[in-house]
Amino acid sequence: MQYTVLLHRDPTGAYEAMIPAVPGCAGKGSTRHEALDDLKHFLQDWLTTTEITTIDVHFPRPVDNEQFNPWLVTAGMFQEDPLLEAMLQEIYALRDTPEIVE
């Protein structure tokens, strides 16, 4: 298995190697090779007591669709508005009017 490793050289010249995917997994050394080797040994020991598994988490969905879909909150709110039909007809007429290009 391959892991992405961050290798950092500090101002004293020492190296620290870290695996971001494995919290707390790090190796140190006076050379690049020593730090990576130390990290590899640490990871091998860590993996002997570690299990990789998955879990299923139930995501509760609201019973009321209005809570689940925010667009439904306003659906139909203008159906009784006497100005709605006239406004829609004006929108449709403007939409269907060819654009005049000068």
| 24-62 confidence digits (pLDDT tens) | 999 999 999 999 999 999 999 998 998 889 999 887 766
The pLDDT confidence band at residue 23, using thresholds 50, 70 and 90, is: confident
For 74-100, the pLDDT digits (tens) are 888 888 888 888 888 998 888 888 877
Q: Do the domain assignments include residue 59?
A: no
| One domain, residues 16 and 43 | yes
Q: Do the domain assignments include residue 39?
A: yes
Q: What is the pLDDT of residue 68?
A: 65
Q: Do the domain assignments include residue 35?
A: yes
Report the number of distinct structural domains present in the chain.
Answer: 2
| One domain, residues 44 and 11 | yes
Nearest to 39 by CA among 49, 54, 24: 24
- CA distance linking residue 40 with residue 18, whole number of Å: 10
What is the span of the domain harbouring residue 92?
Answer: 65-96
Residue whose token pair is 């007809």 = 89
